[in-house]
Chains A and B, each alone.
Chain A
Amino acid sequence: MTGGPPDEVRHHHPEGVVAEPTGDGLVLYLPFPESLHLLDPSAALVWQLADGRSPADVSSAVAGRFPGTPRLLEDVVRTLDDMVERGLLIDGRSL
Chain B
Amino acid sequence: MRAVASDHVDDRDLLPVEGYRALGHWFQVDCDDPELADRIAGLLAPLRAAAREASCAPAPEQVRIGRGPDHVSFVAEHSALHLPSDGQVVDHLLWYVNSRAIDEVSSRGTGLHAAAFQREAVTLLCPAASGSGKSTLAAAMVRDGWTYLSDEAVEVDDRTGDLLPYPKPITLDPGAQHLFPEVQPITADTVSWYVDPQAWGERPAYSPSPPTAVVLPCFSAGSDLSIDDLPPGQAFMALAPTTFQFRRGPERNMRVLGRLVRGTPVFRLTYATLEQTREGMADILQGIPA
Contacts and interface: CB of A to CB of B under 8 A. Distances in A.
15 contacts: A18-B250, A18-B251, A19-B254, A20-B255, A22-B232, A22-B235, A23-B232, A24-B232, A25-B233, A27-B257, A29-B254, A31-B247, A38-B234, A38-B237, A40-B233
A70 to B, nearest CB: 26
Given A22-B232, A22-B261, 11 more contacts: A18-B250, A18-B251, A20-B257, A21-B262, A22-B236, A22-B262, A27-B236, A27-B237, A27-B254, A27-B258, A36-B240
Interface residues of A, number: 16
B204 interface: no
A36 B237 contact: yes
B247 A34 contact: yes
Interface in A1-59: 18-27, 29, 31, 34, 36, 38, 40
A38 B247 contact: no
Nearest to B240: A36
Nearest to A21: B258
B contact face: mostly helix, strand, loop, or mixed: helix
Interface in B221-251: 231-237, 240, 246-247, 250-251
A48 to B, nearest CB: 15
Contacts of A25: 232-233
Given A23-B261, A24-B231, A31-B247, A18 B236 contact: no
Nearest to B262: A23
Contacts of B261: 22-23
A25 B235 CA distance: 12
A18 B254 contact: yes
